[in-house]
Amino acid sequence: MTLSRCRIRPQRAVASASAVALLVAALGACGKEDVGSAGTGDSGRDYYAGKILQVVVPYGPGGGYDLWARAMIPYLQRYLGVSTVHIDNKLGSGGLLGTSSIYDAEPDGLTIGDTNAGGDVFNQINDTLGLNMDWREVNWIGRPDGDPHLILTHADGPYPTFDTLADSDRKVAALATGKGSADYNATVIVYNAFKVPFTMTSTFTGSSEEKEAFLKGKGATASLSASDAVEIGHRAHSVLLMSEAPFAELPHVPTVIQEAKKRGITGRRLDALHALSDVMDLGHAFFAPAGVPQDRLAALRDAFRKTMRDPGFQAAVKKEGLYLEPETDAFLASTVDKALAQRALFKELLTTE
């Protein structure tokens, strides 16, 4: 059976093409109300004419971050007016090298990037890497996707369900992309909240490398996106959805909140899992560094919105097996603010010792 790849929040139901069109039209309409997202102005559009836009991807080719950025190339050229969109896969330190290069880029509007926003927020909360990046200060552009993360186990392994995993009396070997990523931090938070004994392996440059290692039999669990889980479903069990909302493509997979309530988790640990779901909704978030002139920033956001509405783009991402569920810069900014205000809930669950 061929599965549809587009869906709408909050039920995560599979969307028809017309429903997606309505969603992205609404996105464009509400985006025009955002601070800094109103009309682009001639100066913003004129600035980009004939220039080169660099899009930094902090992970390797072939993964979700890379696929989203490459799918947008012809549409950013069309709607921004640049002559070239150059994708720069800047790998290293679990995505932190590429992300920091966007954060520290010249604020001329010619460097943007696709970051692991959930991981960035967790790194600011945990503050163990000495990064000194404040995610309340950047200029968010938008989020194209709705591709929730799951915990997967091997189809022939000892953990066919999350219950068997949570009841394990031996250390679970968990795979995730680098220590700075959202899937790494989410795995740590979930295992600590459910008191699962674990060790982390996080030496991968991106999700495609993590998935390859998992399929070769490495580790006991992996943290991968729903699109990856659907792709390799015959070789893995999807045992936990790291979200509050069920996912239509994988209706049998319990959410982290369902499992928490079933196992009697209450108080601060339950609050932390609710907050975790919010952070994981940040997805593949595009941003520009602080200080970009407002007319150029408005032009970037306008081009992003138009890209999300373009039928050609919608068809292209569906063909790649990606889940289109765009959100505005205002959504990203408010979600980051809320997460950072709840940092005390996370800190006690972010230890790997």
**Mean pLDDT over residues 243-247, rounded?**
90
Give 32-46 pLDDT, tens digit per residue. 333 334 444 578 889
Residue with tokens 């995993």: 165
Last residue of a domain, one of 279, 313, 334: 279
More confident residue, 180 or 106: 106
pLDDT, residue 223, reads 95
> Is pLDDT at 23 greater than 80 in this prediction?
no
Are residues 306 and 235 part of one domain?
no
Q: How far apart are CA 100 and CA 98, in angstroms?
A: 5
Cβ–Cβ contacts within 10 Å for residue 83, how many? 11
> Is pLDDT at 67 greater than 50 in this prediction?
yes
pLDDT, residue 167, reads 96
> Is pLDDT at 300 greater than 90 in this prediction?
yes
User: Which is nearest to 120 in space by CA: 95, 90, 145, 88?
Assistant: 95
What is the percent of the chain with per-residue pLDDT over 70, rounded to a whole number? 87
Residue 331 resides in a domain: yes
Residue 128 confidence class, pLDDT cut points 50, 70, 90: low
> Is pLDDT at 18 greater than 50 in this prediction?
no
pLDDT, residue 130, reads 64
Alpha helix stretches (DSSP H) within the chain: 17-31, 41-48, 64-80, 96-103, 117-126, 162-166, 182-193, 207-215, 226-231, 256-262, 267-280, 294-309, 311-319, 329-341, 343-347
Residue 192 resides in a domain: yes
Residue 72 resides in a domain: yes
Looking at every residue in the chain, the average pLDDT score rounds to 87
Residue 34 resides in a domain: yes
Are residues 246 and 235 part of one domain?
yes
Are residues 139 and 159 part of one domain?
no
Three-class SS state of 158: coil
Are residues 155 and 273 part of one domain?
yes
Residue 27 resides in a domain: yes
**Mean pLDDT over residues 226-246, rounded?**
92
What are the backbone dihedrals phi and psi of residue 100, each rounded to the nearest 5 degrees, phi first? -65, -30
Last residue of a domain, one of 255, 279, 303: 279
> Is pLDDT at 119 greater than 60 in this prediction?
yes
Question: For 36-40, 141-145, 164-168, 282-286, which range has the lowest pLDDT when averaged over its residues?
Answer: 36-40
pLDDT, residue 129, reads 61
Residue 8 confidence class, pLDDT cut points 50, 70, 90: very low
User: Which is nearest to 47 in space by CA: 94, 74, 81?
Assistant: 81
Q: What torsion do the CA atoms of 43, 336, 145, 27 make, to the nearest 10 degrees?
A: -50
What is the percent of the chain with per-residue pLDDT over 90, rounded to a whole number? 66
What's 238's domain CATH number?
3.40.190.10
Range of the domain at 127: 15-147+282-345
Give 246-274 pLDDT, tens digit per residue. 988 899 999 999 999 999 999 999 999 99
Alpha helix stretches (DSSP H) within 204-266: 207-215, 226-231, 256-262
Q: How far apart are CA 350 and CA 129, in angstroms?
A: 13
**Mean pLDDT over residues 298-304, rounded?**
97
Are residues 227 and 183 part of one domain?
yes
Three-class SS state of 222: strand
Are residues 295 and 242 part of one domain?
no
User: Which is nearest to 145 in space by CA: 346, 336, 322?
Assistant: 322
pTM of structure: 0.80
pLDDT, residue 43, reads 80
52 CB-near residues (< 8 Å, 6+ apart): 82, 83, 84, 85, 86, 110
Residue 4 resides in a domain: no
| Bond from prior residue into 10 cis (ω within 30 degrees of 0) | yes
Last residue of a domain, one of 279, 305, 333: 279
Are residues 223 and 78 part of one domain?
no
What's 50's domain CATH number?
3.40.190.150
**Mean pLDDT over residues 216-220, rounded?**
96
Question: For 67-81, 108-122, 145-159, 167-181, which range has the lowest pLDDT when averaged over its residues?
Answer: 167-181
Distance of CA 334 to the CA centre of its chain: 16
pLDDT, residue 63, reads 82
Question: For 35-49, 78-92, 297-311, which range has the lowest pLDDT when averaged over its residues?
Answer: 35-49
pLDDT, residue 25, reads 47
Are residues 261 and 157 part of one domain?
yes
pLDDT, residue 263, reads 96
More confident residue, 269 or 28: 269
User: Which is nearest to 128 in space by CA: 353, 280, 350?
Assistant: 350
Residue 78 resides in a domain: yes
Are residues 271 and 163 part of one domain?
yes
Q: What torsion do the CA atoms of 287, 289, 291, 295 make, to the nearest 10 degrees?
A: -40
Are residues 238 and 191 part of one domain?
yes
Number of folded domains that form the chain: 2
Are residues 213 and 307 part of one domain?
no
Q: How far apart are CA 176 and CA 184, in angstroms?
A: 5
Are residues 50 and 122 part of one domain?
yes
Residue 7 resides in a domain: no
